[in-house]
């Protein structure tokens, strides 16, 4: 089974990565057969481009918002649903449901909900006398709006991962704490969270990588606007390569994304690995 897996990895991951690195050193417009070697010029252009710098800031902000949201809300939901009853089982299915819905469909739904003129949110705000909010056209809040959409879709998935971690904690630990009349907050911080550290570690690394790769939500809801305020690195790569036909620059941005994720993953492992409790 290892050999077929290696073949798939080489064909669909390793070779495309090598070709992306190769293209990053060339000037190619995706249409012309001519491909000119430009060395590090594509990388120099990106690092000097204010638009690319803003794109990276947007990506980091979005990642922080979604990862924190997934961990905090996912844990709270898991704690609330950590009971073996039919009602709690039903609610687990309810909170997981958005995860299995197409992201395109969810983005279209939230595009209507957040619409300035006809959206449900502004309609409800108007009913209580509050002014309409430019959820998707205000540069100051657009990334928060997009992060909220992603959190709504993904938090159910992460809450079930937390729930499986909670149910794996031995009952006798809580029973011993109950005999000592340990208050709930001490049980949470001294038992539950340390025992959940492998789960938090897993959710942290997977959600960081997933957040850096966000594309569909941006493409459908804002197309990177307004004024580049919601552009993220993957949408920038798509836009540069397939709208402006600059595959060299797009590939260079892809290489930077690859390096950034690798560095963040390495730092995350270094900072968190020693704090993870394995029973």
Q: How is residue 39 annotated by DSSP?
A: T
Concatenated DSSP letters of 167-181: HTS-HHHHHHHHHTT
Residue 49 lies in a domain: no
Give how many domains the chain has, as a whole number: 1
pLDDT band at 271 (very low <50, low <70, confident <90, very high): confident
Q: pLDDT at residue 14 above 90?
A: no
Mark out the alpha helices in 81-141 (DSSP H runs): 86-100, 103-113, 120-127
Residue 105 lies in a domain: yes
Instruction: Please compute the mean of the pLDDT values over residues 155-164 and round it to a whole number.
Output: 95
Nearest to 62 by CA among 193, 227, 232, 197: 232
CATH number at residue 73: 1.10.3720.10
pLDDT band at 7 (very low <50, low <70, confident <90, very high): confident
Domain span at residue 211 reads: 59-273
**pLDDT of 2:** 61
Q: pLDDT at residue 34 above 90?
A: no
Which tokens sit at 46?
Answer: 């990106």
| Bridge partner list, 37 | 26
Q: pLDDT at residue 216 above 60?
A: yes
Residue 221 lies in a domain: yes
Segment 60-97, tens digit of pLDDT: 999 999 999 999 999 999 999 998 888 888 998 999 99
Q: What mean pLDDT value characterizes the chain?
A: 90
Residue 191 lies in a domain: yes
Q: What's this model's pTM, rounded to 2 decimal places?
A: 0.92
Residue 31 lies in a domain: no
CB 224, CB 218: distance < 8 Å = yes
Placement of tokens 């990642």 in the chain = 63
**How far apart, in whole angstroms, are the C-alpha atoms of residue 255 and residue 261?**
10
Segment 102-156, tens digit of pLDDT: 999 999 999 999 999 999 999 999 999 888 999 999 999 999 999 999 999 999 9
Q: Which long-range CB contacts under 8 A does 231-235 form with residues at least 24 apart? A: 231/51, 231/54, 231/55, 231/58, 232/55, 232/58, 232/59, 232/62, 233/55, 233/56, 233/59, 233/257, 233/260
Residue 26 lies in a domain: no
Percent of the chain with pLDDT over 90: 66
Residue 50 lies in a domain: no
- Hey, CA dihedral for 16, 22, 27, 32, is it positive or negative? negative
pLDDT band at 169 (very low <50, low <70, confident <90, very high): confident
**Range with lowest mean pLDDT among 47-56, 81-90, 182-191, 265-274:** 265-274
**pLDDT of 279:** 59
Segment 232-243, tens digit of pLDDT: 999 999 999 999
CB 136, CB 222: distance < 8 Å = yes
**pLDDT of 237:** 96
Residue 102 lies in a domain: yes
């Amino acid at each position: 089974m290892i050999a077929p897996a290696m073949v798939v990895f080489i064909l669909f991951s390793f070779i495309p990565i090598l070709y992306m690195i190769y293209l990053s050193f060339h000037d190619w417009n995706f249409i012309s057969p001519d491909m000119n070697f430009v060395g590090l010029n594509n990388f120099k252009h990106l690092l000097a481009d204010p638009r690319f710098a803003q794109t990276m800031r947007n990506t980091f902000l979005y990642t922080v918002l979604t990862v924190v949201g997934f961990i905090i809300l996912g844990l709270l939901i898991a704690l609330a649903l950590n009971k073996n009853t039919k009602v709690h089982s039903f609610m687990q299915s309810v909170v997981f449901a958005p995860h299995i819905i197409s992201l395109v469909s969810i983005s279209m739904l939230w595009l209507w909900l957040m619409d300035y003129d006809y959206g449900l949110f502004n309609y409800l705000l108007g009913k209580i006398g509050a002014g309409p909010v430019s959820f998707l056209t205000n540069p100051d809040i657009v990334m928060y709006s997009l992060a909220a959409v992603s959190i709504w879709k993904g938090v159910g998935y992460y809450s079930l991962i937390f729930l499986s971690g909670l149910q794996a904690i031995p009952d006798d630990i809580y029973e011993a704490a109950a005999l000592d009349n340990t208050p709930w907050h001490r049980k949470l911080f001294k038992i539950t969270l340390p025992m959940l550290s492998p789960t938090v570690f897993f959710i942290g690394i997977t959600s960081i990588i997933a957040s850096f790769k966000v594309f569909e939500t941006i493409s459908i809801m804002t197309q990177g606007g307004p004024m580049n305020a919601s552009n993220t690195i993957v949408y920038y790569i798509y836009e540069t390569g397939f709208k402006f036909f600059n595959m060299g620059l797009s590939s260079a941005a892809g290489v930077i994304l690859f390096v950034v994720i690798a560095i963040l993953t390495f730092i995350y492992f270094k900072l968190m690995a020693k704090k993870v409790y394995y029973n």
